[in-house]
Amino acid sequence: MSDSTGRRVTANIALSLDGRYHGPGGPADFGAFAPYTTTEVAREHLTRIWEGATTALLGRINAEGFLGYWPTVAADENADPRDRGYAKWLVDTEKLVFSSTLAEAPWEHARIVNAPAADVVAGLKATGEGDILVNSSPSLIKPLLRADLIDRLYLMVFPEIVGGGQRLFEDGLPGTRWKVARQETGDLGEIALVYDRVR
């Protein structure tokens, strides 16, 4: 798809070794992931994710979780500077929250969108500058992968088989080719991967 601004669409998510973004206990089951989220590799990866982004796309559930937590980190002078950098970015950046139930955004610099993700992203790519980050929201990443609209994937892969829970890469996705732009392995066996779409 050609566009006039050259904005990249990026997406980040953490996955278990068996490809799941949460455990068998449902969307709030991140117990197996927790030990890996505050490692040096994970924190450096988090910084890379947001540095070039000027717009964040969030599903409603993620928005409620993230925006209930990260503003306190942004205000915490004792927080890790990388966590605080991400938190401040998330609070201050333009956020589009996809929801069919919210009427208005309860957060600063956020607006509610009730439209297909692919349509919204196509519109964003035609205006503005900076990366459009689909911020750890599988409800948006999946349809954008189906529409082949993601240009870069930031993946954290944790060395745990959780044995249940939802997978990001489902059957029926179009075949696409990706190249590794960066990879780094941490002391606990966690791997930070950056993949760029080969078009």
Domains of the chain: 9-21+30-129+138-168+178-197 (3.40.430.10)
pLDDT of 105-133, one tens digit each?
Answer: 989 999 999 999 999 999 999 998 999 99
Describe the chain by its helix, strand, coil percentages, rounded to 5: 30, 25, 45
Model-level pTM?
Answer: 0.93
* The pLDDT of residue 28: 85
b/e sequence 84-101, b meaning 16+ C-beta within 10 Å: bbbbbbbbebbbbbbbee
Residue 37 CA to residue 84 CA, distance in Å, equals 14
Q: What is the mean pLDDT of the chain?
A: 94
